[in-house]
Amino acid sequence: MTFFARLLAAALVLPQPYYLPGHEPETAAERASRIEMIVSSAVTESREVEGWPGTPEDLAAAILSVTWFESRRWALEVHEGRRRGDHGASVCLAQIWTYDRSLAGTSPEATRRCFRKAAQILSMHANRCGIRKMDEMNMARLLGAYGTGRTCHTMPWARKRARLWGRLMDAATESSDPSSPRMHALPPRKLTGVLEDEAWKRPARAKTVMTLAAH
């Protein structure tokens, strides 16, 4: 299987956003098709960004982790642009502070534009924070920087996002020795709530940094 196929398989089994029975905005087949497009966009844009210190595979998984948490599990209303966070300032699955509304939308073109900006922001913060090696600890630092726009430190909600990144990387990359320790893992610890984001504890983004990166 290709990296894309393995990454897609991992993405398809992630928990979905909750809707009241009978109020689901899309069928299971429609959501699966949209997730395939999301993963394809992440893989494509991860190959285009300049200055990223890791591999394209690292970046594709980081984009998926960021957007899954930022958009309430790739919720359709966020993808479409009908729901925006940060009092309406953040758009698209990556919840980027920008006036560019062309990033929102479920078309492949809009999704790629959104992910291109997210990749640029991740690359900017990786270099600002002096990150050269991609593992879960450094990814937690990077995702903390993405979420706040200013820090380079880890924090509980960023570590949860980094754990999802590690899960995606483990599922999508082949290992010559299946019994070897996980190469992306943080030191062993309790995994309860890994996929539940503590967004209410997350500081507001530093708008100046995020806006500069988003335009």
Domain boundaries of the chain, sorted by first residue: 3-11+28-173+191-214
**Contact partners, residue 46, CB within 8 Å, separation at least 6:** 52, 56, 57, 59, 60, 63, 119
- Joined together, the tokens standing for residue 87 give 């009092």
* pLDDT < 50 stretches in the chain: 88, 176-182, 186-194, 197-215
What is the pLDDT, as a whole number, of residue 84? Answer: 61
Q: What are phi and psi of 48, to 5 degrees?
A: -105, -25
Contact between residue 25 and residue 17 where contact means Cβ atoms under 8 Å apart: no
What is the pLDDT, as a whole number, of residue 82? Answer: 83
**Contact partners, residue 22, CB within 8 Å, separation at least 6:** none
- Joined together, the tokens standing for residue 28 give 């299971």
CATH architecture, domain 3-11+28-173+191-214: Orthogonal Bundle (1.10)
Coil, helix or strand for 57? helix
